[in-house]
Amino acid sequence: MSATADTDNSELTGTDTSVARIPQPDPITNKDLMKSWFGWWWANEVSHTFDRMLAPAFCFGLIPTLQKLYKDHDELAKAFQRHLLFFNTQATWGGGTLTGITISLEEARAKALANGEEPISEDMINNTKVGLMGPLAGIGDSIDSGTLQYIFIAIFLPFAKQGSFLGALLPFICFAGLTFTYGYYFTKMGYALGRSAAKEIMAGGRMAGIIDGLGVLGLYMMGILAGQYINIKSYLKFSISGKVFDINAILNQILPGLLPLLAVVLLYWYFQKQGLKITRGLIYLTLVLIVLSAFYII
């Protein structure tokens, strides 16, 4: 009698009680986003491999969030597997933004599966990551590695010159603190905006203007460093009709710090022509300085 009643009820409600439904995902909070961002930020170079690059670290960061989204063991296993595929990008601009975007897409997929709707495909989630990891990495490398870290080094270099350990410690602390902060902001933005977050970051002229401005600032800082900490003097002197001509004094009257500037310009020209072969360039520069100093020219 009860079996008949259950059958009648299932027919009336239009539900299939023989099929187990996938549980609804738990809501994602800012705390969850912080956990995922911190996991990626902390481990992004720890598990670096040639076949997967940074994918293990990216998957590691997503673990606490994926566990809240997928209560079904099989779906959770599939999520882990798709985020262990090849992945490589810059830590903050790329990693932060893609962490947020990926969580947003995974949440949409988990909700669709739980509601019996057509879910976002696994290929679309992976293709989104692959399509954005290169452009976002280019922006991040230009700003973080190419500009910001050198600005912090330039600011605290006087401490190192005075023999203080802060000259080595503070650039690292400030750079890590700043990049962690706006990396978390990118994670939240990526989660809130989904795939459109990349458009906000790569918005044409605005981002190009930021990169150009930071590049100019970086060049100013490098110029200041060259003028203050590169010390090249000429000891060449000669006399005409009893008047002594000091080459170093004459050059400083023309342009103070001309010789250090010339050394920097020559190195820059070499790198432009031969590529960024730093060790070889420093060896050539050292040999030239040894030869010139042997003849008491500098």
The whole-number pLDDT of residue 76 equals 93
**Among 4, 94, 2, which residue's Cα sits nearest to residue 44?**
94
Of 37, 50, 171, 49, which Cα lies nearest the Cα of 93? Answer: 37
C-beta of residue 79 within 8 angstroms of C-beta of residue 129? no
The whole-number pLDDT of residue 37 equals 96
Cα distances (Å, whole numbers) of residue 38 to 41, 175, 235, 258: 5, 16, 55, 47
Q: Distance between CA atoms of 47 and 55, rounded to whole angstroms?
A: 8
Euclidean distance between the first and final Cα of the chain, in Å? 107
Q: What is the pLDDT of residue 182?
A: 92
Residue boundaries of the structural domains of the chain: 21-229, 237-294
pLDDT at residue number 65: 95
| Alpha helices for the chain (secondary structure H) | 2-13, 30-43, 55-69, 73-82, 93-114, 122-140, 149-161, 166-193, 197-201, 204-229, 247-254, 258-274, 278-294
Q: Which of 44, 127, 42 is nearest to 85 (CA)?
A: 127
Tokens of 269: 């020209």
Identify residue 144 by its one-letter amino acid code.
Answer: D
| Helices 122-140/93-114 angle, 10° precision | 160
Contact in structure between 29 and 40 (CB atoms under 8 Å): no
pLDDT value at residue 235: 73
**pLDDT given for residue 107 in this prediction:** 92
Verdict on whether the full-model pTM lies above 0.75 = no
The pLDDT of residue 10 is 41
Task: Give every residue of the chain whose pLDDT is below 70, as ranges.
Answer: 1-20, 195-229
So what's the pLDDT on residue 214?
57
Position 100 scores a pLDDT of: 93
Residue whose structure tokens are 């250090």: 260
